[in-house]
Amino acid sequence: MADQPWMSSITDIGPGNIRVRGYHITDIMEHLSFAETVFLILKGELPNKAEAEMMRAILVASIDHGCSPPSVLGTRNVVSGGNSLNAAIAGGVLVIGDSHGGAIENAAKIMQSWAKKDGDTAMLADELVDYLRENKIRMPGFGHRLHNVDPRTLKLFEIAERCGFSGRHIELCKAIEKALETKTGRALPINVDGAIGAVISDMGFDYRLGKGFFIISRVPGLLAHAYEEMTREKPMRQLGNRNYAYDGPGPREIEK
Ligand X SMILES: CC(C)(COP(=O)(O)OP(=O)(O)OC[C@H]1O[C@@H](n2cnc3c(N)ncnc32)[C@H](O)[C@@H]1OP(=O)(O)O)[C@@H](O)C(=O)NCCC(=O)NCCS
Where along the sequence are the contacts to ligand X (CB under 6 A)? Answer: 99-100, 103, 138-145, 186, 188, 191-193
Dump the DSSP string for 206-235.
-GGGHHHHHHHHHHHHHHHHHHHHHHHS-T
Neighbours of 232 (CB within 10 A): 7
- Decide whether 79 or 190 has the Cβ nearer to ligand X: 190
> Do 80 and 237 form a contact (C-beta atoms < 8 A)?
yes
Q: How would you classify the pairing of strands 17-20 and 11-14?
A: antiparallel
To ligand X, the closest distance from the beta carbon of 137 in angstroms equals: 8
- DSSP secondary-structure letter at 251? S
To ligand X, the closest distance from the beta carbon of 107 in angstroms equals: 7
To ligand X, the closest distance from the beta carbon of 98 in angstroms equals: 7
236: which residues sit within 8 A by CB, 6+ positions away?
80, 81, 82
Helix (H, G, I), strand (E, B) or coil at 23: strand
To ligand X, the closest distance from the beta carbon of 194 in angstroms equals: 6
